[in-house]
Amino acid sequence: MAVLHMKIELGSKRRNIDRIRKLVSVAKAEGAKIVVLPASFNVGPILSKEFSSKKSRRGYCESIPGPLTETLTVLASKHEVVIVAGPIIERVGARLYKTSIVLEPLKGVIGKLRKVNVEPDKIIARPKDVDLVAELYNGIKLGLIIEDDILLPEISLALLIQKPDVVIAFLNLDHTSLKYRDYIRIRAAEIGTIAVGVGGIVAKGSTVLYAVPTIVADSNGEVIEEVKGVEEKVVFVNVSKRKSSNQDLSERLGIIKSVFKTLRPRIRTQR
């Protein structure tokens, strides 16, 4: 699986899609079968407090399926890869959602997940139904988490029951994401699988504004790779079908407690 730690230009959909085309080609050349795009990959974090405006909200909404998903389907089909895209602003009638999508070659959209942890009476609506796992044609199960949903223990419990082969958490591409870094490690330990926190680089034109790290944690909650800085990189993660584990429940609980004990002082400070 290839995770694109990429630069995203605010409001520049065409240039962002062109950049994705190049990076997907690089990922495929290295043997990737799944390619993961960051949150707001098409226009950047235009809903964040730093950049939001009423005009931008309406101008950058997408329908699913629609022109953007058609573009991604063509790209997936060309390179014979599955594309897992971070949340975009989806319009359904008068409602707006933050929605992540999974696309397979030729088939197009095979699954989508809407953000759950949203503030009442805000622009983004809360979905009625939540499907956290997408199963691919090869049997690989992807667990998806959108932005602040990583704070919800109910999400972690649901994923623990569904047993995904990898968890992909799309981080907010703003300064709030930095305090959620440790939750990637906690959720990986709780669910008992690799977890990837997908960050990215936010730019305005040619000027880089800031970067949110991409982090990979193993099933013990240990960081095995972290990409920082403003240089684009394709991060490769080995993903395979989850094997039945004979690990004692008390042993798994011990791992979770150990990770939480290590991180608890920092989490308390961040709140």
Q: What is the pLDDT of residues 47-70, one digit of tens each?
A: 776 665 544 555 688 999 999 999
pLDDT score, position 133: 86
HEC letters along 42-68: CCCCCCCCCCCCHHHHHHCCECCCCHH
Q: What is the pLDDT of residues 198-210, one digit of tens each?
A: 999 999 988 999 9
pTM of the model: 0.87
Question: CA 219, CA 257: separation in Å to the nearest integer?
Answer: 13
Q: What is the pLDDT of residues 120-157, one digit of tens each?
A: 556 777 676 667 788 887 889 999 999 999 988 888 88
pLDDT score, position 245: 60
For residue 28 the two structure tokens come to: 């495929």
Position 218 pLDDT exceeds 60:
yes
Cis peptide before 153 (omega within 30 of 0): no
- The domains found in the chain, sorted by start residue, are 2-270 (3.60.110.10)
Position 258 pLDDT exceeds 80:
no
Amino acid at 214: T
- Side by side, the strands of the sheet bearing 34-37 are 108-114, 95-104, 82-92, 34-37, 2-5, 233-236
Q: What is the pLDDT of residues 149-198, one digit of tens each?
A: 998 888 888 898 889 999 999 999 987 777 788 899 989 988 989 999 99
DSSP readout, 76-143?
A: HHHHT-EEEEEEEEEEETTEEEEEEEEEETTTEEEEEEE-----TTSSBPPPS----EEE-TTS-EEE
Radius of gyration (C-alpha) of the chain in whole angstroms: 18
Nearest to 153 by CA among 118, 186, 181, 120: 186
Averaged pLDDT score across all residues of the chain:
86
238: how many CB neighbours lie within 10 A of its CB?
A: 7
pLDDT score, position 132: 76
